[in-house]
Amino acid sequence: QSALTQPASVSGSPGQSITISCTGTSSDVGSYNLVSWYQQHPGKAPKLMIYEGSKRPSGVSNRFSGSKSGNTASLTISGLQAEDEADYYCCSYAGSSPLFGGGTKLTVL
Amino acid sequence: EVQLVESGGGLVKPGGSLRLSCAASGFTFSSYSMNWVRQAPGKGLEWVSSISSSSSYIYYADSVKGRFTISRDNAKNSLYLQMNSLRAEDTAVYYCARGKSGSYGYWGQGTLVTVSS
């Protein structure tokens, strides 16, 4: 199985909104409502931001939201803040083996 | 507070073996599926292996199948990864993570495995 497809980089100014896409296939993203999104700052462990497509773990800002259409999932960050600058990874259940995206570097201008 | 602490990483020659451990605390370890996820230097995340709460279900990525073995000891609140026949491409930070189906709410700090002659 190939990794899910994410844009290598996105950028936005403070206060703006950005969306990161995550494209899979009908065997993974399209088949399950089990897409997660992770934020990773340099040298740190990943942090779960969204699970089951659109749910936020306790403590995660409501500026982060997730959605899905067909084989593509999306992470939207509204009201961009400097601390949002990080790498973001999507992950989809794909039967017995979860599949990660290649990662997207978010730059806050 | 949930804590996951990995250990056992280090430098190993190609073809060698290493055993990683993950000590869990702050939650009922025996109730949760556990996983290993790795990240090669400067690269993205890659799921490696998962084990269900009672060890009934075990899964591996194709890239490690037949070489790596995941196990757990619920009495010791510990997760393990036995890595044999190591290759240069196994060089990565290995994270222990709690959760299932790609949703991992808690991660350790990671342990670095370097495979080099």
**DSSP 3-state of B58:** strand
Work out the average pLDDT over A83-100: 94
Strand pairing report for A35-40 and B10-12: unpaired
- Is residue A52 exposed (0-12), middle (13-18) or buried (19+ Cβ within 10 Å)? middle
Residue B61: list chain A partners with CB under 8 A.
97
Q: Which two tokens stand for residue A68?
A: 């899905």
Residue with tokens 């409501």: A62
Do residues B102 and B9 make contact, with C-beta atoms less than 8 angstroms apart?
A: no
Residue with tokens 């890595």: B83
Dihedral sign, CA of A25, A26, A32, A33?
positive
Rounded Cα distance, A22 and A3, in Å: 10
Q: Tell me what pLDDT residue A96 has.
A: 81
Interface test with B, best of A1, A96, A104 (most B CBs within 10 A): A96
- Is A98 in contact with B105 (Cβ distance < 8 A)? no
Is B3 part of the contact surface with chain A (CB cutoff 8 Å)? no
CA nearest B101 in A: which residue? A93
Q: Tell me what pLDDT residue B45 has.
A: 97
**Per-residue pLDDT tens for A17-47?**
999 999 999 899 999 999 999 999 999 999 9
SS (H, E, C) A23-66: ECCCCCCCCCCCEEEEEECCCCCCEEEEECCCECCCCCCCCEEE
SS (H, E, C) A58-100: CCCCCCEEEEEECCEEEEEECCCCHHHCEEEEEEECCCCCCEE
**Per-residue pLDDT tens for B49-103?**
999 999 999 999 999 999 999 999 999 999 999 999 999 999 999 999 999 999 9
Q: Tell me what pLDDT residue A1 has.
A: 65
Q: Which two tokens stand for residue B7?
A: 């250990």
Do residues A46 and A37 make contact, with C-beta atoms less than 8 angstroms apart?
A: no
